Amino acid sequence: MNNKVQLEQVNIHFGKTHAVRDISMTFPEHSVTAIIGPSGCGKSTLLRSINRMHDLVPSARVTGKILVDDGDIYDRGVDPVAIRRRVGMVFQKPNPFPAMSIYDNVIAGYKLNGRLPREEADEIVESCLKRVALWDEVKDRLKSNAMMLSGGQQQRLCIARTIAVKPEVILMDEPASALDPISTLKIEELIEELKERYTIIIVTHNMQQAARVSDYTAFLYMGDLVECGETKKIFTTPEQKQTEDYITGRFG
């Protein structure tokens, strides 16, 4: 299997804080890789570096190489906007645009960047909402405000909005941690389906979730990559004592 995303000696600093230390790892195409670890271990920080979200934080400094399809996204002359179109992101708290309808939220990536012909828009809205299994729940009220939806529905709407712009990689930052168990289950089923088309990298501090949805798992601790490999192996026969302690709930 191809490696879609590859990290080479990635270090991330915020001012004087060294948040991510010298991490090298790969994310195979059309698979789900989970990044786990205790709070503050740098997993979200690492995730956000993969679509250059740190560019907005003046004190943040990313060094090393992050390759998407063999191209370093931190190379001079690479447009972060173009990178973010290829590497989409779903956030911890559902964040639909509050001033927009359900319909407009799905095509927000197009509307905010210009115009979109009506027929094309209709088609994108229907297919994306169907893929996140939200279509049947909202097809009669596409024009109502997105904030009317429940938290779980909002999060699936955000995923629909992300896949609408046809990314190659989807980053998910604890996408179900603000949701109830049923909604969480729906999101997990969705992730399973989405990996056929996309490469998914998910940060979670729910280890059962990592075990359920991911093919590969990386364990981070205090900014260091302790261990990474196939999820089955990490959860059954980890090589590092630290990984085992964390997974069995002895700390973290």
Partner 1 sequence: MMQSVTYRKMKNHLMSGLMLACTLAVLVPLGLIFFHILKMGVSSLSLDFFTHVPAPTGEPGGGMANGMVGSAIMIAGASLIGLPVGILGAIYLSEFGGSKVSTLIRFAADVLSGTPSIITGMVAYTLLVVPMKGFSGLAGSVALAMIMIPIVLRTTEEQLKMVPGSLREASLALGVPFWRTSLKVTLRSALSGVLTGVLLAVARIAGETAPLLFTALGNQFWSKNVMQPMAALPLQIFSFAIAPYEDWHRLAWGGALVLVTVMFALSLTARYFGRTRQAG
Q: Does 223 bind partner 1 (CB under 8 A)?
A: no
CB of 84 to partner 1, least distance (A): 4
Q: Which of 16, 39, 58, 119 binds partner 1 (CB under 8 A)?
A: 58
- Residue closer to partner 1, measured from CB, 96 or 238: 96
Q: Which of 5, 53, 125, 157 binds partner 1 (CB under 8 A)?
A: 53
Element (DSSP H or E) covering residue 102: helix 102-106
- Residue closer to partner 1, measured from CB, 99 or 180: 99
Angstrom distance (rounded) from CA 134 to CA 114: 25
Angstrom distance (rounded) from CA 201 to CA 29: 10
CA angle at residue 89 from 219 to 214, to 5 degrees?
40
CB of 117 to partner 1, least distance (A): 19
Structure tokens at 65: 């190489």
Q: Which of 7, 62, 108, 190 binds partner 1 (CB under 8 A)?
A: 108
Q: Does 148 bind partner 1 (CB under 8 A)?
A: no
- Residue closer to partner 1, measured from CB, 169 or 220: 169
Closest CA to 106 of 77, 65, 81, 143: 143
Q: Which of 9, 17, 24, 113 binds partner 1 (CB under 8 A)?
A: 113
What is the number of other CB atoms lying within 10 angstroms of the CB of residue 28?
A: 16
**Sheet holding 17-28: strands in order across?**
17-28, 3-14, 60-68, 71-72
Phi, psi values for residue 188, rounded to 5°: -65, -40
Point out which span in 20-28, 109-117, 120-128, 203-211 binds partner 1 (CB under 8 A): 109-117
Please give the span between the terminal C-alpha atoms of the chain, in angstroms, as a whole number: 33
Site map for partner 1, 154-193, x if CB under 8 A? ----x--xx--x----------------------------
Structure tokens at 219: 């364990």
- Residue closer to partner 1, measured from CB, 10 or 83: 83
Angstrom distance (rounded) from CA 62 to CA 42: 13
- Residue closer to partner 1, measured from CB, 109 or 238: 109
Q: Which of 66, 89, 129, 179 binds partner 1 (CB under 8 A)?
A: 89
Q: Does 57 bind partner 1 (CB under 8 A)?
A: no
Q: Does 98 bind partner 1 (CB under 8 A)?
A: yes
**Is the Cα dihedral 81, 95, 194, 248 positive or negative?**
positive
CB of 160 to partner 1, least distance (A): 12
Cβ-proximal residues to 238 (8 Å cutoff; 6+ apart), any chain: 219, 227, 244, 247
Residues in the site for partner 1, rule: CB under 8 A? 51, 53, 56, 58, 81-82, 84-85, 88-89, 91, 93, 95-99, 108-109, 112-113, 158, 161-162, 165
